[in-house]
């Protein structure tokens, strides 16, 4: 029996490595390099490798005998899709790797951030032909080993993290029909890959600032950034993470308790996002914003930098 439907190629791995390098370049504020790398990751050979496999999942059947076929059950009798808590458990167990082929995978909301930041280099339309191939192949799925249509449950012992090809090319068929090993018979791949989650604090929520750059192909494009100065438009430096003990979020504002006898607040918007957190047993709030937004409030920037996330 085989472990996966289709082996990743060198072009696929090169596309993924370009994605990883593009995110690193963006974090380092080298936006032109990031744009070039995101563009490189959108490889037509990678796109064909993937889309040929999921265009018609029936073609992936190896054992076509009726003895291997399951019984399709009515939609009204199928188990519900997995809950957010179950997905969280599956991701914690499997990590950001496909349990079938081992490809690194990325959650859809990280891809959405990349698309917002680099809309020209990371296209994502409704049609497969309008989608970035690097983010297609790394598109994280919560795959039912036994499909729900065949009676499979949305449970920890029937769900695995998979890439898009291994999920969609498998379709509604059973492992026996595809001559696939059960992925949970193998241990998860031990990896430090973070699913590009390090891009999350750079999400251009609300209305991101944009700057024009020129790619290697000579094409101009608008890139939403966290911070450079271009012509007469000033864009703040990249977001960093700050922790304020005792702070809370209310009505679109982060309210910080008095420091040196003075209260401060941050209005959540294009340059500032926030979430509740705990550090060393102390409840407070993480604020994602450029450091000048903290300094402007008369606060010591270095003192409030969150060492766990910065």
Task: Judge if 49 and 179 occupy the same domain.
Answer: yes
Is 226 inside a domain boundary?
no
Compute the distance between CA of residue 36 and CA of residue 49 in angstroms, rounded to an integer: 22
120 and 64 within one domain: yes
Is 123 a domain residue?
Answer: yes
Query: Is 269 a member of any domain?
Result: yes
pLDDT tens readout for residues 213-265: 444 444 444 444 443 333 333 444 678 899 999 999 888 889 999 888 888 99
User: What spatial distance separates the first Cα and last Cα of the chain, rounded to whole Å?
Assistant: 45
Interval 99-115 mean pLDDT = 95
275-289: per-residue pLDDT in tens? 888 888 888 999 988
Residue 213: inside a domain: no
Q: Note whether residue 225 is domain-resident.
A: no
Residues 191 and 269 grouped into a single domain: no
Lowest mean pLDDT among 64-73, 108-117, 240-249: 64-73
pLDDT for position 289 = 87
Domain assignment of residue 116, yes or no? yes
197 & 285 share domain: no
Domain that holds residue 83: 10-202
Q: Is 179 left (phi over 0), alpha (psi -120 to 50) or beta?
A: left
Q: Collapsing DSSP states into helix, strand and coil, what is residue 156?
A: coil
> With 70 as the cut, is the pLDDT of residue 22 above it?
yes
Q: How confident is the model at residue 183 (pLDDT cuts 50, 70, 90)?
A: very high
Mean pLDDT score of the chain: 86
Binned at pLDDT 50, 70 and 90, residue 309 comes out as: low
Of 65 and 284, the structure prediction assigns the larger pLDDT to: 284
Q: Which of 34-38, 70-74, 158-162, 183-187 has the lowest mean pLDDT?
A: 70-74
pTM of the model: 0.67
Percentage, residues of the chain above pLDDT 90:
58
Are 197 and 91 part of one and the same domain? yes
Residue 303 above 60 pLDDT?
yes
Positive/negative CA dihedral, 113, 117, 118, 124 = positive
Three-state SS for 297? coil
Name the pLDDT band for 210 (thresholds 50, 70, 90).
very low
Q: Which whole number is the average pLDDT over 58-79?
A: 85
Same domain? For 48 and 193 the reply is yes
Total domains, the chain: 2
pLDDT band at 205 (very low <50, low <70, confident <90, very high): low
Residues 161, 288 within the same domain:
no
Domain assignment present for 309 = no
Token output for 86 = 């179950």
Backbone angles phi, psi at 275, to 5 degrees: -155, 150
- Indicate whether 90 and 151 sit together in one domain: yes
Which of 202, 219, 254 terminates a domain? The answer is 202
Whether residue 143 contacts residue 81, with contact meaning beta carbons closer than 8 Å, is answered with no
């Amino acid at each position: 029996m085989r472990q996966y439907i289709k082996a990743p190629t060198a072009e696929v791995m090169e596309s993924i490595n370009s994605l990883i390098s593009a995110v690193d370049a963006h974090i380092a504020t080298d936006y032109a390099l990031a744009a070039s790398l995101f563009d490189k990751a959108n490889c037509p050979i990678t796109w064909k490798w993937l889309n040929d496999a999921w265009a018609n999942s029936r073609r992936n059947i190896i054992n076509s005998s009726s003895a291997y076929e399951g019984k399709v059950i009515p939609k009204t009798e199928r188990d519900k899709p997995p809950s957010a808590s179950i997905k969280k458990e599956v991701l914690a167990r499997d990590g950001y790797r496909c349990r079938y082929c081992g490809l690194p995978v990325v959650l859809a909301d990280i891809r959405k951030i990349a698309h917002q930041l680099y809309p020209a280099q990371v296209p994502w339309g409704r049609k497969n032909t309008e989608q970035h191939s690097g983010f297609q192949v790394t598109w994280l799925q919560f795959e039912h080993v036994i499909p729900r249509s065949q009676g499979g449950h949305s449970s920890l012992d029937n769900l695995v993290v998979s890439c898009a090809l291994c999920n969609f090319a498998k379709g509604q068929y059973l492992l026996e029909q595809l001559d696939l090993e059960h992925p949970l018979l193998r241990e998860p791949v031990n990896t430090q890959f973070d699913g590009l989650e390090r891009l999350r604090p750079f999400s251009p929520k609300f209305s991101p600032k944009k700057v024009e750059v020129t790619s290697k192909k000579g094409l101009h494009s608008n890139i939403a950034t966290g911070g450079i100065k271009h012509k007469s438009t000033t864009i703040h430096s990249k977001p960093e993470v700050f922790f304020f003990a005792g702070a809370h979020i209310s009505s679109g504002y982060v309210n910080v308790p008095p420091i040196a006898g003075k209260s401060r607040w941050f209005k959540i918007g294009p340059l500032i996002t926030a979430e509740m957190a705990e550090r060393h047993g102390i409840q407070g709030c993480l604020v994602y914003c450029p450091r000048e937004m903290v300094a402007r409030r008369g606060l010591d920037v270095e003192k409030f930098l969150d060492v766990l996330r910065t």
